[in-house]
């Protein structure tokens, strides 16, 4: 039941309006750019190395994408230093343009027109990034703030799932041990006298009753856990809707 409920909710969530599109509004160019430069899970996609190290690596390799991603993410997280990160992004755009122009000139000489056209698009893309750096960070700050909240929710949800799984394993282990004890008692009873056997059967009944009570408690506890999960998820949904109304934490 719980699994079916989660699958149903996930399908419903996929139908919700795209967050990035909502943040960009009618700005098609900004949405197109950020759809390639923002990540659903920034903690996994963006390097943990600091900007200086990433910049050094980029200048050696000619690939500035990792450092741009880092600059946008850090700029989104540090509102008090936004101007500094805007300049960082603009500087990275200029460096990327310079490297790309050199590459474009090289492939043009080789007659690789398709590749040259792609490089030309990259240059225009970087010019856009330089011109719209402030807008890029403003949208990224709202986008990443929401995504980090969702990642926190996902982490807590996964922790609850693991706790339930652990409890289920413990139940299975206890049931198996109880079955083994029951089989051992049956073997012992075969060699018992009448009175001793009668007393053993009474103990078996008491043990069976305790097992049934324990199972009933498990069912009740499981139901309570599912209700708590529903309560938490409903609260998260309510908070998510509230953030939307307030401009996603704007």
Residue 114 in this model has a pLDDT that exceeds 80: yes
pLDDT band for 163, please (50, 70, 90 cuts).
confident
Choose among 57, 28, 248, 61: nearest CA to 70. 57
Q: Which two tokens stand for residue 46?
A: 């963006």
Is residue 250 classed as helix, strand or coil in its secondary structure? coil
Secondary structure in 3-state letters for the chain: CHHHHHHHHHHHHHCCCCHHHHHHCCCHHHHHHHHHHCCCCHHHHCCCCCHHHHHHHHHHHCCCHHHHHHHHHHHHHCHHHHHHHHHHHHHHHHHHHHHHHHHHHHHHHCCCHHHHHHHHHHHHHHHHHHHCHHHHHHHHHHHHHHHHHHHHHHHHHHHHHHHHHHHHHHHHHHHHHHHHHHHHHHHHHCCCCHHHHHHHHHHHHHHHHHHHHHHHHHHHHHHHHHHHHHHHHHHHHHHHHHHHHCCCCC
- In order, the DSSP letters of 83-150 are HHHHHHHHHHHHHHHHHHHHHHHHHHHTT-HHHHHHHHHHHHHHHHHHHTHHHHHHHHHHHHHHHHHH
SS3 of 47, please?
A: coil
Per-residue pLDDT tens for 116-148?
999 999 999 999 999 999 999 999 999 999 999
**Binning pLDDT at 50, 70 and 90, where does residue 153 land?**
confident
Give how far the C-alpha of residue 54 lies from the chain's centroid of Cα atoms, to the nearest Å.
24
- Helix, strand, coil % in the chain, rounded to nearest 5: 85, 0, 15
Per-residue pLDDT, averaged over 213-232, amounts to 73
Give pLDDT tens digits for 27-51: 999 999 999 999 999 999 999 999 9
Q: Is the pLDDT of residue 93 over 50?
A: yes
Q: What is the pTM of this model?
A: 0.69
């Amino acid at each position: 039941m719980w699994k079916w409920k989660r699958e149903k909710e996930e399908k419903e969530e996929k139908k919700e309006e795209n967050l990035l599109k909502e943040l960009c509004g009618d700005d098609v160019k900004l949405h197109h750019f950020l759809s390639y430069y923002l990540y659903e899970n920034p903690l996994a996609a963006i390097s943990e190395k600091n900007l200086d190290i990433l910049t050094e690596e980029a200048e050696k390799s000619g690939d500035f994408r990792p450092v741009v991603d880092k600059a946008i993410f850090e700029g989104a997280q540090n509102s008090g230093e936004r101007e500094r990160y805007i300049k960082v992004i603009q500087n990275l755009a200029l460096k990327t343009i310079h490297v790309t122009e050199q590459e474009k000139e090289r492939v043009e000489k080789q007659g690789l027109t398709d590749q040259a056209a792609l490089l030309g698009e990259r240059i225009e893309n970087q010019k856009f990034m330089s011109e719209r750096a402030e807008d890029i960070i403003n949208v990224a700050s709202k986008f990443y703030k929401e995504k980090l909240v969702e990642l926190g929710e996902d982490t807590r949800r996964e922790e609850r799932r693991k706790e339930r799984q652990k409890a289920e394993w413990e139940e299975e282990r206890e049931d198996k041990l109880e079955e083994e004890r029951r089989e051992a008692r049956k073997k012992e009873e075969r060699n018992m006298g009448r009175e001793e056997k009668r007393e053993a059967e009474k103990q078996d009944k008491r043990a069976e009753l305790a097992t049934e009570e324990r199972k009933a408690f498990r069912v009740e506890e499981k139901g309570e856990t599912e209700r708590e999960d529903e309560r938490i998820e409903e609260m998260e949904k309510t908070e998510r809707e509230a953030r939307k109304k307030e401009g996603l934490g704007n």
